[in-house]
Structure 1
Amino acid sequence: MTDSKTIAPPSNSFKMLRAMAGIGIICGILIVFTYEGTLPRIEFLRAEALKEAIFKVLPGITEMQPYAYKNNSFLPAEETDTDVVYAGYDSEGNFKGIAIVASGQGYADQIKIIYGYDPDNQKVVGFYVLESKETPGLGDKIEKDPTFLENFTALDVALNDDQSTLQNRVVTVKKGTKTNAWEVDGISGATISSRAIGEIINASASEWAPLIYKNKTAFNSLENE
C-alpha cells in the first residue's frame, strides 16, 4: 500500500496578500502618472501665484524682471539660476524695488514668504505669505491680520556704516510694545508664528540687503534684460 500526500490549497491569507500587492502596484503606477501629468499645471500655477505676489509687495510697479546673483553681480536670471530676486519697475521703467523670497521654521512647519525691499530708503515695503501650514484662526493671522501686515509698509532694514549687515536686528516684540522702526508688532495668541516672520526677514535681509544696496545700479532699467 502506497502512502499518499495531500497538497493543501493556497491559504486565503496568501491570496489576500497577493491581491493587496497587485492593488498597491497599480495604485503606485497611477500616482506616478497622475503626478507627472499634473506637474506642468502645478508649476504654472505656482509661477503665476509668485508673479501676483511680487506685484503685491512692490507697490506701484507694472513690470518685473528676475535677477540672479552670480560672479559678484546681479544679472538677468536664466531658468537654471537659483539665487533669484525680482526687480520691479513702474510704467515709465523706473526701478522701484526688489521682491525677495525667504523661508523659515514656523510653529507647524516651514513658512515661505515674499517681501518687498526698497534699497533707496532701506525699508521693507510689502509682505505676503506664499506657503504656510500655521494653525487656522491663530498662526494664520500672519497672512491676514491688518495690524500685523502694517508692520511691513516701512520696516527699517538700514545697513550699518560699512554696509556689511543690518544696523539693527529685525525682531518681533509683544503686541503693543513696538517703539522702533525695525521692530515687528507681534500677534496675541500667535507668538511663535509672528516671531518666525521677524526672524525670517532678519535672516534674509541680512544676506540680501548689503548685496542689493551695493549693486543697485544693476537694476536701473528694464534695458538690462
Structure 2
Amino acid sequence: MSDPTPLDAGVVSGLTRPPEAKVRASRLLATLGAAGAVAGLLIVLVFGVTQPTIEANKARRLQAAIHEVLKAPDRYDTLYVVGGTLVASLAPGSDVRKVQRVFVGYRGDRRVGFAIMAGEPGFQDVIGLIFGYDPSTKQILGMKVLETKETPGLGDKVEKDPFVSQFVGAQTPLVGVKAKDPTGKDRRQIQMVTGATISSRTVIRSINNALVRVGPLLETYRADGAGDDRPRPGQTPAARERGVRG
C-alpha cells in the first residue's frame, strides 16, 4: 500500500491559507482603513464648519437669557471670578471656558443686578440655568433653564411656568416645599413640581450653592464697583458718574 500523496503548495489544509485569500484580506483591511480615514476627515471638516454657527447660536441664547432674568437692562458687562474676586478682563491666554462668568446689568447709570450661571446634576443629567440676583435685597430677579435632559412631561416642567415664575422676587436662600404657605409671608419658598421633586430641588440647590460661592463677591463688587446708584463718602459727582471714588 503506497503512502498518501503529499499536499501540493497552494492547496488548502487545516494550517495554510491560499495566497488569493491573503490578498483579499489585505485589500479589505486597506479599504476599511481608507473608509475610516475619510469618515474621520469628514467629521472634522463638518465640525469645523458648523462649530462657529453652534457657538454663535449659544451666545445669542445666552444674551437673550441675560436680558430676560435681568428684566431687559440697557446694557450689561461681563465679569470673571478670578482669585476670589470679580475682574473685568482676563490675562492673555486664559481659557474663558474654564472661568466662571457673572454678568452685571445696568439701566441708565443704575445697576439693576447680576446674572449668574449655575448647574448641577438632576435626575437625568446636569440642569444648566441662569438667574438674576439683586445683592442689595438678596432677591432673585428671574430664572431661566438653559439646558436640561429631564423626563418630558415631568422633569422638564422646571423650565416652564408656574415653576419658573415663582423665582421672581423670591428671597434667598431658597427653600423647596411641597406646598407653599398660603399666607405668602415666607418669600423664600419655592413649590416643587409634583412628580419631579429631584429636578426641582436641583434648580433650587444650584441657585443657593452659586450664591454661597459668589454672593460675597457680589456684595464687595457692589460696594466698590461702577454703576452703584448710591453716593459714597468722599465721592465727587464726576467720580460717581464713572463709578469710582473721588
Matched, 1:173 2:169: no
Residue 167 of structure 2: aligned partner: 152
Is the contact made by 1:113 and 1:131 (CA closer than 8 Å) also made in structure 2?
yes
1:150-188 Cα deviation digits (max 9, x unpaired)? 22101212xxxxxxxxxxx43322144686322221001
CA distance in structure 2 between the aligned counterparts of 1:191 and 1:16, rounded to whole angstroms? 54
- Runs of 4+ in structure 1 deviating by more than 6 angstroms, as ranges, are 11-14
1:43-94 Cα deviation digits (max 9, x unpaired)? 111111111110000014120100123355422134834132000011x221
Greater relative CO, 1 or 2 (CA 8 Å, sep 6+) = 1
1:214 positional shift: 2.4
Residue 163 of structure 1: aligned partner: none
CA distance in structure 1 between the aligned counterparts of 2:204 and 2:54, rounded to whole angstroms? 29
CA distance in structure 1 between the aligned counterparts of 2:60 and 2:143, rounded to whole angstroms? 17
CA distance in structure 1 between the aligned counterparts of 2:43 and 2:73, rounded to whole angstroms? 41
CA distance in structure 2 between the aligned counterparts of 1:15 and 1:171, rounded to whole angstroms? 66
Partner amino acid, structure 2, of 1:140: D
The worse-fitting range, judged by mean Cα deviation, of 15-24 and 206-215 is 15-24
CA distance in structure 1 between the aligned counterparts of 2:149 and 2:176, rounded to whole angstroms? 20
Partner amino acid, structure 1, of 2:20: P
CA distance in structure 2 between the aligned counterparts of 1:223 and 1:69, rounded to whole angstroms? 22
**1:133-144 paired onto structure 2 within 5 Å:** 133-144=149-160
Is the contact made by 2:158 and 2:164 (CA closer than 8 Å) also made in structure 1?
yes
Report the 3-state secondary structure (helix = DSSP H, G, I; strand = E; otherwise coil) of the residue aligned with 2:9: coil
Report the TM-score when normalising by structure 2.
Answer: 0.76
Report the 3-state secondary structure (helix = DSSP H, G, I; strand = E; otherwise coil) of the residue aligned with 2:162: helix
Is the contact made by 1:111 and 1:131 (CA closer than 8 Å) also made in structure 2?
yes
- Could you tell me which of 114, 119, 141 is aligned with 2:130? 114
Residue 101 of structure 1: aligned partner: 117
Residue 103 of structure 2: aligned partner: 86
The alignment covers a number of residue pairs equal to 211
Greater gyration radius? 2
CA distance in structure 1 between the aligned counterparts of 2:133 and 2:8, rounded to whole angstroms? 87
Report the TM-score when normalising by structure 1.
Answer: 0.82
